[in-house]
Amino acid sequence: MKIFQQSDRLKGLPEQFFASLVKKVAKEASEGHDLINFGQGNPDKPTPEHIVKALQEASNNPHFHGYPPFQGHGFLKEAAASFYKQEYGVTIDPTKEVAILFGGKAGLVEIPQCLLNKGDGVLIPDPGYPDYLSGVALAGATLTKMPLTEQNDFLPDYSSLSEEDKQRAKLMFLNYPNNPTGAVASKEFFEDTVSFADKNDICVVHDFAYGAIGFDGKKPRSFLQTEGAKDVGIEIYTFSKTFNMAGWRIAFAVGNESVIKAIELLQDHLYVSIFSPIQKAAEVALLHSHKSVQDLLSLYERRREVWVGGLQNIGWDVKAPAGSFFAWLRVPKGYTSTEFSDLLLKKAHVVVAPGIGFGEHGEGYVRTGLLTEETRIREAIKRIKGLGIF
C-alpha cells in the first residue's frame, strides 16, 4: 500500500495533549477500576425534552429534507438576534451580524483562516482552550501568549505586551466565563479590551461558550454589551453548554459585519449549512422557556458547593469558580500538574485534567469539571482524603 504524505499544513498542527490523558484513563478503566471522571468537558445531562421534540417534529417535515440555505435559515438568525436582545439588551441585525456555525469549535478554528495571512499575529490566552492554537496553525499565523495569572484574576494584562506584539497582532481570542480557570470578566475589563483593540486594529473573538453559567446570582456579561464592541469584534455562542446540546454541533457568531461576512464566505466553500431540523430545534431552544437553563445552573452551583466545600474541609486550599462548569485547583507543593493528575488517577481513581495541557501558565493547577452526580463527587472527596496528602 502506498503511503501518502500529509500536507505541511497538517504536519504543523499542534499535538493534542489530552489524547495522552484519554489513553491513561482508558488503561485504568480496562483494568476494572471504578473511575470518577472530572477531566471531561462534556455535559452529563440530556438535551431538554422540548428541544428534542422540536427536532422530531421538524424531521417529519419534507420541506426540511433538502439542502438548507448555504448560510443558514433566516428563522435561526432572527432567533439569535432576539435572544441577544432579551438576554443582554444588545441589538443585532440578523441579516448581516449573525453567522450559523457547526459548533463553537468550528467557528474558533475557522476565524483565523478568514482574517489572517501567513505571519500575522494572534493573541492567545494562556492557559486557554487548546483548539485556539489549531486555527492559528492552519492560518500560518504567529501566536503571542497572554498569561492569565491568579494575581490578575485570570485576566490578560495588555500593558505587558510588547509594542512589536501589538503591532503584529490582527486577532485576539478571549473566553469568559473562562475555560479552564472559571474566572469571569468585568465591565471595566471589556471596556479596556475595546479600547485596546480599537487603538491597535485588532479583531476580538470572544468565546462565550459558558455564557449562561455564572454563580452567586451574577450573570456573566456579554462582550457585545460593551460600547463599541461590534466595531472591533465578534462573540461566539454555542448551544452545547447552555442547552446541553454538545452532540448537536450548532452555534452562532454575532457582531462585526465584516467578520460575519468572511465566516459565511469560507463556510460557503466548505458546507451546505446544518440539517434544517437541528436549526429549527435551536430556534426553539433560544426562544422558548429557559427554565431548563435555570435548573441546570442551580445543579452546577450545588455541585460546586459540594466539590469545593468538601475539598476545603479535607485541607486542600482551593477557590470556587465564579463561572463556567470548571473548578481550577492549585496542586499541592512538590507536584507538577501532570504528576498530581497521575497520582489521583492511579491511587484514588479520580480523573482530573493537568493544567499544563492548557498552556505553560496552566502549570501548577488541575482542571475539574462539575459534570458528575453529587454522590460521586462526595466519593471522590473521600478517596482524595484517603491519600493523606492534605
The alpha carbon dihedral of 221, 227, 232, 233 has a sign of: positive
Q: For residue 116, give the C-alpha cell.
A: 489572517
Together in a domain, 325 and 206? no
> Which of 287, 308, 328 lies at the terminal end of a domain, its last residue?
287
Residue numbers in the chain where pLDDT is lower than 70: none
Q: Which domain holds residue 377?
A: 8-46+292-386
HSE-CB of 30 using CA atoms within 13 angstroms: 6
Report if residue 301 sits inside a domain.
yes
Together in a domain, 178 and 257? yes
Together in a domain, 86 and 121? yes
Together in a domain, 76 and 222? yes
Q: How many domains does the chain have?
A: 2
What is the CB neighbour count within 10 angstroms for residue 306? 18
**What pLDDT does 40 receive?**
86
Cα–Cα distance, 293 to 290 (Å, whole number): 5
Together in a domain, 41 and 75? no
Q: For residue 99, give the C-alpha cell.
A: 453567522
Residues near 302 by Cβ (< 8 Å), separated by ≥ 6? 374
**What pLDDT does 21 receive?**
83
**Which of 75, 67, 102 has the alpha carbon at shortest distance from 248?**
102
**What pLDDT does 22 receive?**
85
**Which of 243, 241, 235 has the alpha carbon at shortest distance from 282?**
243
Report if residue 2 sits inside a domain.
no
Cα–Cα distance, 135 to 112 (Å, whole number): 6
The alpha carbon dihedral of 184, 296, 18, 342 has a sign of: positive
> Which of 287, 309, 341 lies at the terminal end of a domain, its last residue?
287
**What pLDDT does 16 receive?**
78
Place of cell 489572517: 116
Single-letter residue type at 129: Y
**What pLDDT does 368 receive?**
98
Cα–Cα distance, 154 to 166 (Å, whole number): 20
pTM, whole model, 2 decimals?
0.96
**What pLDDT does 88 receive?**
97
Per DSSP, which regions of 5-117 are E strands?
36-37, 98-101
> Which of 287, 321, 351 lies at the terminal end of a domain, its last residue?
287
**What pLDDT does 20 receive?**
78
Together in a domain, 237 and 213? yes
